[in-house]
Amino acid sequence: MKWASKKIFILSLSSITILSSVGRVNALEIKMNSNLNKQIEKRTTIPDLDTLTMVQAFPDANFRAYLCDILSIKDENALISKDSKDKIEVIDNLGLYEKSIKDLSGVNYFVNLKRLYCSNNNLKTLDVSNNPELEILSCYGNNLETLDVSNNLKLRDLHFGGNNIKILDISKNKKLEILYCYDNSLKTLDVSNNPELTHLSCFGNNLETLDVSNNPELKELYCFRNDLKTLDVSDNPELIRLDCSDNMLKTLDVSDNPELIHLDCSDNMLKTLDVSKSPELKELYCYRNDLKSLDVSNNQGLKELYCYDNNLKTLDVSNNLELTHLSCGGNMLKTLDVSRNKNLIILDWENQRKESSGGNSYTPVPIVTKTNYLVGSDRYDTSVKISKEGWDNVDNVVLINSSSIPDALSATPFAKAKNAPILLTQTNSLNQLTENEISRLGAKNIYIIGGFNSVDASIESYLKDKGLNIIRISGNDRYDTSIKLAKELNKENKLSKLVLVNGEKGLADAVSMGAISAKEKMPILLTNEIDDMKAIEELIDNKDISKSYVVGGDSLFNEDIGDKLPYVIRISGEDRAETNSKVIDYFYDNNVLNNLYIAKNGENREDDLVDALSVGVLAGKTESPVLLVGDGIKDSQKSLINKREFRNITQIGGNGNEKAFSEIENLVK
């Protein structure tokens, strides 16, 4: 699979003709042939495949079982047939994620292999010297101490994080675009011969120096948790994300990085930081340094600023109208004016220090949690109350059937991208409360999610007659609808992260991910254990996907999902409540959250999840989680709540979550 379209330079070594008589041989040909011979000599010498049995060619039982399955051959003592040999030699993709494989001997017979995914196994060695066509190698989470990729000249994507590799030579891999070598034991890293590198993740090593001056295409650099004393990014004008936190940097110059969106330089020894030449900056983390001043007046799109534990005496955020998170405690601020920061959700400026000559100090003000209710007479009324809470006037509204949850599961991130509340309708008639709310909002466009069995054509005609523009998004089934919504979301924001849930058994999981998917602009894709996932693979082909969140137990998904998706992160619990808690715990790491929305978990009736679905967009806007509850709260939820503080808790809908809400009220008092 390919997630970024690039040009490939092809060097064919498949046929070398030796002539009995040669007229003239020039010096260049001699040099080229000499280099080719050296490369060929370096490859491992292996016996012909058709002279071996399966056991001899592939000694690891788990590797062999996988091959027998995909090749439809028997694991027997006979010599490998020509038919099997031919099958092996044309295979270009091996998905061996989490197969408990200890030995990949025999992988060198796959001479046309382009993509090898063997992560999270028990490999101590890996020989890919006979795989010259290899473009993607993902072998993270093993026990490798060495890795030789000098024969893999076409390699574009190399991911070997979480091993114990001390030395890496990628000088021959000039086509390399993505290098993930984090959490190893590297003391040096030379990327000077990799001019096409766009992503470098080398955090958690022992690097004392890092030279990226020959990497002009670099867009993302994650080099935190090393021993870097200097870092020069002046030759990386395309840099979008830089995380160099937890090093020993005394200076950092980002004046030549105008495209920078994310900068984390926290936990260093910086005395100055100039971000005035990075007008696109949205997230700045510079806490725990020695900054005496910080000017963010040119960063008008800044959303998150964490500058606590420095020596700031003043901080002006009057130009940062998009700011949602500000943490500036542990400085020497006497005043802080946030009167213009109307979008602020999180504000922490407590525990200011006195200057040595005296000055003011501040006593932290305890958070008093406010109790709120968005509870209507029925689900339609509840969705209207949610809409009124979050929107005064909008161009767009998303309309879903109140009882057809599967069709609407993937709608939340799309609705957030359109800044649209989710309103409810019946199949054949538009609820009057919903119609009134559409009128109040002054909406122009109505996005109907689902086919005519969910929302009848008569409703579409009725709304058109009122002068509204109707756009229907639906597929052949819930799975296809999720794909179509993802494609629409991609038009608004280029896809970089994914969420996958089971389309039948994971409805609550999808709702759990709704708010964070809305915030992070991640599509929610529906799949199941028998899905071949071809539609999803086609969707993400040629896209630069950095993370794939798979939510729910292993049995709910295709067993090869780890190989079919890039950079999989799994989140699951024993039940829907624990999974919901783990989602919140993983994605919401602030100790103080703006709100906690409490809605029914759908255990008794799946369509009870509609309240949680309705509030997902609002939760995404306020960057607050949705807690799914039944008749009372579970231990995992109590633990989650006890670890955090909430400025607000809000009951969403009624008829089943009252007891749980009361218990939560008592916990946060």
**Identity (one letter) of the amino acid at 310?**
N
Alpha carbons within 13 angstroms on the beta-carbon side of residue 590 total 21
Q: What is d(CA 269, CA 265) in angstroms, rounded to the nearest whole number?
A: 9
Beta-carbon contacts of residue 491 (< 8 Å; ≥ 6 apart): none
- Token pair listed for 646: 């909430």
Q: How far is CA 102 from CA 58, 65, 75, 107, 183, in A?
A: 11, 13, 18, 13, 21
Q: What is d(CA 404, CA 222) in angstroms, rounded to the nearest whole number?
A: 43
Q: What are the b/e assignments for 67-100, b being 16+ CB within 10 Å?
A: bbeeeebeeeeebbeeebbebbeebebbbbbbbe
Q: Classify residue 225 by burial, with Cβ atoms within 10 Å: 0-12, 13-18, 19+.
A: buried
Q: What is d(CA 304, CA 483) in angstroms, rounded to the nearest whole number?
A: 31
Check residue 366 and give its pLDDT: 59
Q: What is d(CA 626, CA 391) in angstroms, rounded to the nearest whole number?
A: 19
Check residue 491 and give its pLDDT: 83
**Identity (one letter) of the amino acid at 510?**
A
Check residue 589 and give its pLDDT: 77
Map residue 88 onto helix, strand or coil: helix
Average pLDDT of adjacent 10-residue blocks, the chain of 669 residues: 31 27 32 41 69 92 92 84 90 89 95 93 95 94 95 96 94 96 94 97 94 97 94 97 95 97 95 96 94 96 94 95 91 90 84 58 59 93 94 93 81 92 93 94 93 91 92 91 91 86 90 90 92 90 85 89 86 92 88 89 88 92 92 92 90 91 91
**Identity (one letter) of the amino acid at 362?**
Y
Q: What is d(CA 201, CA 205) in angstroms, rounded to the nearest whole number?
A: 10
Q: What is d(CA 39, CA 31) in angstroms, rounded to the nearest whole number?
A: 13
In the 8-state DSSP scheme, what is residue 363? P
Q: What is d(CA 2, CA 369) in angstroms, rounded to the nearest whole number?
A: 48
- 469 CA to centre of own chain: 33
Angle of the 379-390 helix axis to the 432-441 helix axis, nearest 10: 10
Check residue 241 and give its pLDDT: 95
Q: How far is CA 365 from CA 204, 337, 362, in A?
A: 37, 17, 9
**Identity (one letter) of the amino acid at 168?**
L
Q: What is d(CA 313, CA 359) in angstroms, rounded to the nearest whole number?
A: 11
Check residue 14 and give its pLDDT: 29
Check residue 44 and give its pLDDT: 58
Q: Classify residue 120 by burial, with Cβ atoms within 10 Å: 0-12, 13-18, 19+.
A: buried
- What are the E-state strand segments in 254-385? 262-264, 283-285, 304-306, 325-327, 346-348, 370-374
CA dihedral of residues 506, 508, 512, 514 (deg, nearest 10) = 80
